Each structure stands twice: as C-alpha cells, then as structure tokens.
Structure 1
Amino acid sequence: MSPEKKKLLNIFILGFSFMFLFTAFQTCGNVAQTVISNLNNTDFHGSGYTSLAIIYSVFSASNLIAPSVVAIIGSQFSMFLSGLFYSAYIAMFIQPFTWSFYTLSVFIGIAAAVLWTAQGACLTVNSDEDTIGRNSGIFWALLQFSMLFGNLYIYVAWKGEVNISERDRRTVFIALTVISLVGTVLFFLIRTPNASGSESLEDDGGSDSSLSGEGNIHRSSQSNMSKAVNAFTRSMKLCVTKEMLLLSISMAYTGLELTFYSGVYGTCIGSINWFGAEAKSLIGLSGIFVGLGEILGGGVFGLLSKNSRFGRNPVFLLGLVVHFLAFYLIFLNVPNDAPIASRDGTFSRAFVDPSKFLALFSSFLLGLGDSCFNTQLLSILGSLYAEDSAPAFAIFKFVQSISTAVAFFYSNYLLLQWQLLIMVIFGFFGTIAFFFVELGAVHQGPQDTRYGSI
C-alpha cells in the first residue's frame, strides 16, 4: 500500500473511531437532562446543564496542557486513554450518584482536551496542503454519523414514553458504554505515517529508546520535559498572533451553537407539551436530523477547501445564512420558556402553533450550518499551522470549550430569545473575522502566516 493510501486509511479509521465514541457520548449528552429530570425525585440531585458546564470549563483549562501530554505519550495512546474516560462517564448513568456524576464530569473535561488535541495532530500528520480539505471533510462526515444511530434508538425505544423508567435508562446506557469502548479500541489500528520535519507527535522517544541504564532514564526524562515545555511555549506564542485572535471569534461561535444544538434544543423539543406523548422520542429524532445535516455538510462542503477556486469563505458564509434561518424558525416555533421549563414541560405557545416539521427541519439546518463552520476551521488551521498542528487545534478547542461552558451555564437561566440573540451576534462577527484570515491566507500563504503578527 502506498504512503498516501496508508494516510487515507488512517483518516477513515480515525473517523470511524470517533463515530463510535461520539455515537455514545453525543446521545448521552442529548438525553442527559431529560433522564436526570426523571431521577431528581430520588437520592440523585444533579443537572445535566451543570455537568456539561463543568466538562467544558475543565476542557478549556486543560487545553493549555494537552499539547504537552500529546507530545510526551503520542497522539494514538492519548486518544485511547481519553476514550476510556468517555466510557466511564457514560457508564455512570447505569447507576448514577451525584458525587460520581460531577467527579467524572471533571475527568472527562481533561480527557476531551487531550482527545481533540491528539485528533488534530493525527489529522494533520496524515494530510498535506492538497489533502487537508478532503480529509477534514471525510473525518467530519464520519464523525457526524454518530448523530444517527444512538438517536434513532432513542426515538424508537422512547416513543410514547412520558417518563423514562430505570430499566429503559439502564438498557440505553449499557449499550452506549459498549459502543464507546469499541471506538476506543479502534484507535490502536491507526498506523504512524513516515513523516519528517517537526511534526512528530507519535514519536515516543526517538533514538533514546536504544539507550540503557540510568543515563537512558535521565535523558528520556529530559527529552519528555523538553517536549512538554516546547509544546506549551508554542501554544502561548500562537495564542497572540493576529490570525488566531481573529479566528477565536469564529471558534467561540462554534462553542455557543454546539451548546444549543447538542444540549439545549433537544431539551426544548422534549418540554413542548403540544407534541403530546411523542415529545420525548422527538429528542432522538431531532438528533438524527442534526446528524443528517452534519453528514451532508461534511461530505460536500469539506471538499470545497482552499484548493478549490471557491475558497473557504463562501462555505463559511453559507453556514451563517443557514443558521440564521434556523434561528428564525426556532424563534417562531418554540416557546420562549422551553429551555428552562420544569419537569412537567411547557404549554406556552410561540408565534405559531408548535410544528414537528419545523422543529425537525430546524434541527437539520443547525447540523448543516455547524458542518460548514467546523470543516472550514479544521481546514484553515491544518493549512496555516501545518508545523504547529497540536498547539493550533488545542487553542481551537480551548476557545470553543470556554464559550460552550459559558453557554451551558446561562442555559439554566436565559429564555430562548436571548440565547438566540447571543448566537446571532457572535455568528455575524465571527464570519467577518474568518473572512479577514482567509483573505490573508490566500495572499500570503502558509509560510507567512504561521506566526502572524503580534
């Protein structure tokens, strides 16, 4: 098999691994608040929104050290260890306790930072300037199949259910735990490509491995410390470049809308009493339509990278238009108090009678727009920072996770109209900022924009 085919195979394995892992985790996040609302009359007292806020708060802080962890133990082993923590968090719902719920929320925040930094490094190592757009699209499309399978099961199993029984909960989360473990094991099938240059995150010691005795231990320790310090220093330098500061606005928007489509919107649909006994099962169906939009966007728009004559800007602009349309339809269709409704749901009415068709069509638009933003951000980061992929992707997840954590915190309190307004403002300015960076990349090229201007 040629080196290029091996790299492409690695991208497919990476995509399938994330597909299994996030089939479990995204389904878990989508139904967590609904499941927990059926537990709060027991000894368990917790909030799905608060848990996700903790996860993304720790996630954001951990991104500062994630490049150092990946540099020391390699991206493959980093992804495997992180996958184990994801599986432990999902398994916790089989028999939930408040203390384990919040403790594992902290650990999975750390694991997520390492996982996504390692993913960015692995994607970049297996790509070049000509293939980064294609590979970003392939990875994103495979990842978003995770939105289909778990949510399809939720739709079928919970159809007509008003309250989620203990048996139903355990059945779902045992299955999700097994699925997440399958994705975790698949990381071991990724093979390191023969790459030269500074991007060697899979290297776990280089020539030091041939040494022996105390001198070897001392040199290996120094080498690991040097890798960790170097990765941290590169991250700090990259943070204050002009290009990264501008892209941070776009990254922050992806965090806000991630919160909305992955946690808030499903809860809104499930709380609308106008939908009757189907309300809870529609949470799963909404997740499926988000996934369909993500897959379509990843498969089509991921290929329209910088290497095409259209560039990245039209795809990013399309994502903004699609999201603005989705926000408008949601504003018309979903009651304003739906995000913060009690366990009994809401009988309020928006500007039109709640429509299942509009609710699910809006889910599709949310997924389609999200794929436009993320595929183009993955592409531009992999192109501009090919020599510094781990720090660049760590910064992406750092900024994204901060805004996600903030959004999960305010989702406990803000009415729907204010949540939509915040996303409209950040989406508009984030798109303008992306335009400036993309235009600069076209004129200067990657070698001139790697460190930008402070």
Structure 2
Amino acid sequence: MTDIEKTAEYAGAGVSSGTSRGKPDEPDTSRPGVWIYEQPRVGPVRRPWYASPLSQLLIVSFVCFLCPGMFNALSGLGGGGQVNPDVNNSANVALYSTFASVAFFAGTIANRLGIKLTLSLGGLGYGIYAASLLCYVHTSNAGFVIFSGALLGVCAALLWTAQGAIMMSYPPEHIKGRYISIFWMIFNFGAVLGSLIPLGQNIRSHADNVNDGTYIAFIVLMFLGAILALFLVDSKNVIRDDGSKVIVMKHPTWTTEFLGLLEVLRNDTYIVALFPMFFASNWFYSYQFNDVNLPRFNIRTRSLNDLLYWLSQILGAWVFGTALDLKYLSRRDRAKVVMVVLFLLTMGVWGGGYAFQKGYTRSGTAAKNYVKLDWTSDGYLGPMFLYMFYGFFDASWQTTVYWLMGALTNNGRKTAFFAGFYKAIQSAGSAIMFRLDTIGIPYMNLFASCWALLAGSLVIAAPVILWKIKDHVSVEEDLKFSDETEEDVLATTHKTEQ
C-alpha cells in the first residue's frame, strides 16, 4: 500500500456506515454528536463545524486581528505614535530580546499548556504595552514602556507559536497556502482598521504625535483579542473534512517537550538553512517604520501610509497564498517557482527603495528647518507606491516562509517547534535592528543591511527547497515524531472528549 493510500485509510477510519459523504445536504454523522461538530445550514450551504480547522483558523485570525494586528498599526506610525522614537526603540529592543529568548522554547510551552491557554496568555501583553504608551504621554515614564515591551516579548512568543502551529498543522496539505493567506489577510485587516483610527482622529492635524483616544481604542481592542482566544477548542478535538485528526502528543510533559526540541534540532538539521530567512523576515520593520515613514512624513500622512502598507499586505497574502496552492504544478515545483519569484521581487522592490533612500539622510531629517512631506506635497506619489510595495513584499515573504515550514511536516507538535524557531530568530533580528536604529546608524547602512540579508537568505535556503520539499509527507513520517502509533490514529480519528 502506498503512502497516499495509507493516508486515505487513516483519514477515513471510523466513518460510520450508512453516511453518504457525497451528499452535501446531509450532515456528516460520522463525527461525534456534540455541538462543536454540528453543521447548521446558513442559506443554501452548511457552515463549517466549530471544531473544524477552518473555524479554528478564523478564531485565531481574529485574535491576531485584535492583538498583533493593532500593534502593527501602532508601530507603523513610527515611534509608537510619538515624535521621539528612542523610548519606543528601547522598548522594542526589550520586546524582541525576550521574544527571541522565549520563542525558541515556546513550542515546548504550547505543547504542554495547550493551544488555547497559550494563545490567550500571549494576547494579554499587547493591551498592557499600548497602555504603557498612553501612560508615557502623560508621565514620561520610560521604564514602564520598556518593561511592558519586555513583557510583550514573552507574550508574543506564546501567541505566535500557538498561531503558527494551528496554521501549519490543522489544514490538509493541498490547501495550506489558502489557509495561510486567509490568516494573513484577516490579521492584516486588523492593522488596516487600526490604521484608520489614527487617520480618522488626526486627519486634520498637522501635529506629529497621536492623541489619547487613539491609544484607548487600541487598548480596548487588544484586550478583547486575549479574551477571544479562550473560545478555541483543544487541538485533540479538531477534526478535518476528511475525518482525520491533528497528530499531537497524548500526554506531554516538560521533559518530553524539551527532549522533543532537541530531537528536532538533531534529526531535522536542514531547518537551519531556513534560519537566515527567519532572521531577515522582520529585520526591515524598524527601517520601514522609523527610518522611512517617521522621518519623511507628518502624522496624518504616516497614518495614510500605514493604512496603505497593511492593505498591500492583504493583497500580497492573497496572491502568494493562492499561487502556492495551484494544482497544475507539483508542490516541489511550486516551491522552486516561488523562490525565484521572491528573489526577483526582492531585487525590484528594494532596488526602488535604494533610489528613494538616496534622497535623504539621518542628519538632514533632524534639522530644525526640515519640512516633512504631506499627502498634498509634490513628489508624494512615488514614495506612497514604494511604501505599498514594501507591505506587499512583507506579506509575500511571510506567507512563503510559513508555507515552506508547513510543507515539511503535518505534525502539530513539530510545527509548534518550527513556529517557535521562526519567531525566536525573527525576533532576534528585530531586536538587533531596533538597537542599530537607536544608536543612530546611517539610514543608508540600515537599508543596505535589509537588502543584503533578504537576498542572501534566499540563496542559503535554496538547498532545502531543492531537496527537502516533497509533494506529500506520509503519515508514517509524521508519526516518527509523536507518541501516537498507527493503531492510535486509526482508533481515535473520530473519538473526542465529550
């Protein structure tokens, strides 16, 4: 029996006789008879059951819509909405330093505590961070901002690791790109709406910092996101459309999870070749937000740029997510094509960025007589489109990296570790870059580091693309990294705790 045939056998195990899965008007009675598996009709179609991968992905997407999505909107204003970015930069150094430290082990934490609790705890730090910025406006308490940044790093490591595990392990192989794009579009729509808050409140303002109402709106929405995470179901209760379940540890302990982390590094050492892509994936945020948007544009124009940046992210996620699931190319061929496209996009977008960066310096924008651009200024259109392409590029890069990791395994436990590696190394890069910006490295040097890292990391990742991406990952291969056996998969496909 082939791997694909075995996979189909596992997926179909436990299906009750007498149920026609080919009749869309009839519910699938093979699932347990509890409410999380019911499929009520909405108009002419039945909605996904609550414990389906799609429903769970949507919940996670809206959690990130409300927490990191709003955080991104606030960060995109440059300096956290303040004129002087130094305190915000110091907070970001603390944030990404703790993020990098904790995220490396966050897969262990997520597997031990469970996805729901990990995600909810992760969401709490975002509201606290926004509150610290509001506090700073009135008290100039830099210590609270930096502390909240460090706390947010711990929380963000938990949130993003849990999110990554869900996004990469819940969907079937043939639609992982679609799921990644759905998440990225909803998540970035949070940043879009978040950008409308300061844009609407500051549209008539020519000042250079946001008002209290902006921060209060962010605080409320971020705390709502942490609460929403509690509405997830446990991974062991999720059932896919084909009847299969997510492979997870049955009774994880701290010891087994730390040993599992070491096992991944020992047996899947090829993942190291993707580390430079991880490192580069957020390296450019400090440059784009603090060294392009903040020094060159006034507050209302920064707010508009921020909005366009995240709208372009939605477009980038849709384009790349859809393309990565094209059926007329094998998955191996799609991986090769997307890397070539990403390399060409890197050279094109950042080549345009070089032309723009030549027009200003750090010392020039710090001069007292320097006038920032407004959207009514001559010459604004070109920088506006460049900033939009920066957003499109970011979503394209992140979508591709997640898809590559998801193509390497379907095992929920291993994807949690992969997501932890990704966010840890990504955050280490962010911490370094924010620090470089704080100490006043010339804008052109920071720009050059972004371009070089992005292009070089694609070259280093090429061997993984060529030799490790397969058209299909067998159940047997995924079970090598789990305490589940083939008999467990067959016996528990449709059993869940009621």
Superposed pair shares fold, TM > 0.5 = yes
State the 1:255 CA deviation. Answer: 2.2
Describe the shift of the 1:235–1:66 C-alpha distance in structure 2 as closer, same or farther (beyond 3 A): farther
Say whether residues 1:367 and 2:391 are aligned partners: yes
Describe the shift of the 1:362–1:112 C-alpha distance in structure 2 as closer, same or farther (beyond 3 A): same
SS of corresponding position for 1:200: coil
**1:181-200 matches, cutoff 5 A:** 181-192=223-234, 193-194=237-238, 199-200=247-248
Q: Which residue of 2 aligns with 1:23?
A: 69
Deviations 1:320-369 (A, max 9, x none): 433433333333335432499449584599xxx97211111011111111
Deviations 1:72-101 (A, max 9, x none): 211111110111111111112222221211
Which structure's residues are more often helix, by fraction? 1
**1:123-202 matches, cutoff 5 A:** 123-164=167-208, 169-192=211-234, 193-194=237-238, 199-200=247-248
Listed as ranges, the gaps of 5+ residues in structure 1 are 41-45, 207-222, 271-278
Sequence identity (%): 16
User: Which AA in structure 1 matches 2:184?
Assistant: W
Say whether residues 1:322 and 2:349 are aligned partners: no
User: Which AA in structure 1 matches 2:109?
Assistant: V
For 1:259 and 1:109, the matched residues in 2 are separated by: 16
User: Which AA in structure 1 matches 2:63?
Assistant: S
Describe the shift of the 1:93–1:305 C-alpha distance in structure 2 as closer, same or farther (beyond 3 A): same
**1:427-446 matches, cutoff 5 A:** 427-442=454-469, 446=473
Say whether residues 1:259 and 2:286 are aligned partners: yes
Is the Cα–Cα contact under 8 Å of residues 118 and 390 in structure 1 kept in the other structure?
Answer: yes
State the 1:267 CA deviation. Answer: 1.5
SS of corresponding position for 1:296: helix
State the 1:265 CA deviation. Answer: 2.8
TM-score, structure 1 normalization: 0.81
Q: Which residue of 1 aligns with 2:380?
A: 356
Q: Which residue of 2 aligns with 1:229?
A: 258
SS of corresponding position for 2:282: helix
Q: Which residue of 1 aligns with 2:428?
A: 402
Aligned length: 412
Q: Which residue of 2 aligns with 1:69?
A: 109
390, 400, 410: which one aligns with 1:376? 400
Listed as ranges, the gaps of 5+ residues in structure 2 are 1-26, 29-36, 38-47, 481-498
23, 29, 51: which one aligns with 2:91? 51
For 2:363 and 2:192, the matched residues in 1 are separated by: 23
Describe the shift of the 1:24–1:306 C-alpha distance in structure 2 as closer, same or farther (beyond 3 A): closer
Deviations 1:202-240 (A, max 9, x none): x7xx5xxxxxxxxxxxxxxxx6333442343345436x7
**1:76-87 matches, cutoff 5 A:** 76-87=116-127
State the 1:449 CA deviation. Answer: 9.2
Q: Which residue of 1 aligns with 2:484?
A: none
Describe the shift of the 1:343–1:7 C-alpha distance in structure 2 as closer, same or farther (beyond 3 A): farther
Alignment root-mean-square deviation, CA = 3.1
Is the Cα–Cα contact under 8 Å of residues 296 and 365 in structure 2 kept in the other structure?
Answer: no
Describe the shift of the 1:443–1:105 C-alpha distance in structure 2 as closer, same or farther (beyond 3 A): closer
